[in-house]
Copies of this chain bind each other. A is one copy, B any other.
Amino acid sequence: MFFASDNAGPAHPSIMQALIDANAGYALPYGADTIMERVRARIRELFEAPEAAVYLVATGTAANSLALACMSEPWQTVFCSPVAHIHEDECNAPEFYMGGAKLTLVGDSDKMTPDTLHKAMAAEETRGVHGPQRGPVSITQVTEKGRVYSLEELAALTGVARDFGQKAHLDGARFANALVALGCSPAEMTWKAGIDAVSFGGTKNGCPGVEAVIFFNPEKAWEFELRRKRGAHLFSKHRYLSAQMEAYLTDDLWLTSARAANANCRRLADGLAGIPGVEMLHQPEANIIFAQMPRAAHQRLNKAGAMYYVLDGDLNKGDPDEPLPCRLVADWSISAKQIDQFVEIAKG
């Protein structure tokens, strides 16, 4: 019963098999492998972006930091949600890669709105050379609270960015989960909605460790290659990144896995919804939910070995009926049986 994160489950067997298959004979290093050629072509096709620059790295933080570094200057500030992964969970990696740029936290929610974003961007305008300069906007889709921006919401945010002459980055660590939730095409969720560059996640959706960075305008392609190498993120035996991504995109595995994860989350939410004292922060939109459950339920789950984050309060001491908030993440691999077992234990 592991609901702590989607980074702890097993990789999909097809992807592991692809690693084995890729391990035959010699392959040109540093991204010149033939699998990467196919990956590039496939991603361009999927995104309806024949000119796009496409690169692979092994971690989501690398994807975000390198993409943002190509899109900003060290004297700028990047606009993002106060709970954005780039702000809260990357130990200043974006600032490191951007050469000391800032992040400006927009509003007080996981979702920026055109209003909060406009207000934040407008506020940087009156100080000439003295203040931080406006930089790009970074949008997390699925948000860290498990919510999904609609296409209209995305377009509105990138419109605000463009009004200020700035570009938009999409942190798509859970890109597939959002895509199947919206039921739209990759192009619709990105460049058609005004997104300039994407961190396209594989790791949280069944890959051992691979993320693509996609620039729809390839003008910074060579700069990205230099930044990736200088950041020590260019793999010599690159074929093992390529093979993961190829398998991930083959036969819609990425979509199938994301649908499974979202469905698992929905099953969990539905199960929990009927329990007295359990309250959802919001309806499940992708594969993460935040819920309040009575302390006693947490205690039973903890005792049974369920793993997930209780976000506040003392698990062990206090009123058994007091609601304590928690985060629950479902990946593609969790079984219906385990989900139902979790719900049963929560019920008590």
A contact residues vs B (CB 8 Å cutoff): 2, 5, 7-11, 13, 16, 19-20, 23-30, 57-62, 65-66, 73-77, 88-93, 95-103, 105, 127, 129-133, 203-204, 208-209, 223, 225-227, 229-237, 240, 307
CB distance from A246 to the nearest CB of B (A): 15
A-B residue pairs in contact (CB < 8 Å), sample of 12: A7-B29, A11-B237, A16-B19, A16-B23, A58-B58, A62-B233, A74-B96, A74-B99, A75-B226, A203-B237, A209-B236, A209-B240
Are B29 and A10 in contact, with the CB atoms below 8 A?
no
Are B236 and A7 in contact, with the CB atoms below 8 A?
yes
Q: Do A232 and B229 form a contact, CB below 8 Å, given A26-B2, A92-B101?
A: no
Please tell me how many copies of the chain the complex holds. Answer: 4
- A57 CB contacts on chain B under 8 angstroms: 232
CB distance from A309 to the nearest CB of B (A): 9
Are B229 and A129 in contact, with the CB atoms below 8 A?
yes
How many Å lie between the Cα of A227 and that of B76 in the bound state? Answer: 11
- A11 CB contacts on chain B under 8 angstroms: 23, 237, 240
List the B residue with the shortest CB-CB distance to A13: B23
- A101 CB contacts on chain B under 8 angstroms: 92, 95
- A133 CB contacts on chain B under 8 angstroms: 91, 226
Are B132 and A91 in contact, with the CB atoms below 8 A?
yes
- A97 CB contacts on chain B under 8 angstroms: 232
Are B75 and A230 in contact, with the CB atoms below 8 A?
yes
- A73 CB contacts on chain B under 8 angstroms: 223, 226
How many Å lie between the Cα of A10 and that of B203 in the bound state? Answer: 23
How many Å lie between the Cα of A281 and that of B74 in the bound state? Answer: 35
- A77 CB contacts on chain B under 8 angstroms: 92
CB distance from A57 to the nearest CB of B (A): 8
- A127 CB contacts on chain B under 8 angstroms: 88-89
- A75 CB contacts on chain B under 8 angstroms: 91-92, 226-227, 229-230
- A232 CB contacts on chain B under 8 angstroms: 57, 59, 61-62, 65-66, 90, 93, 97, 231, 233
Are A229 and B103 in contact, with the CB atoms below 8 A?
no
How many Å lie between the Cα of A163 and that of B29 in the bound state? Answer: 31
- A5 CB contacts on chain B under 8 angstroms: 29, 236
CB distance from A290 to the nearest CB of B (A): 15
CB distance from A171 to the nearest CB of B (A): 13
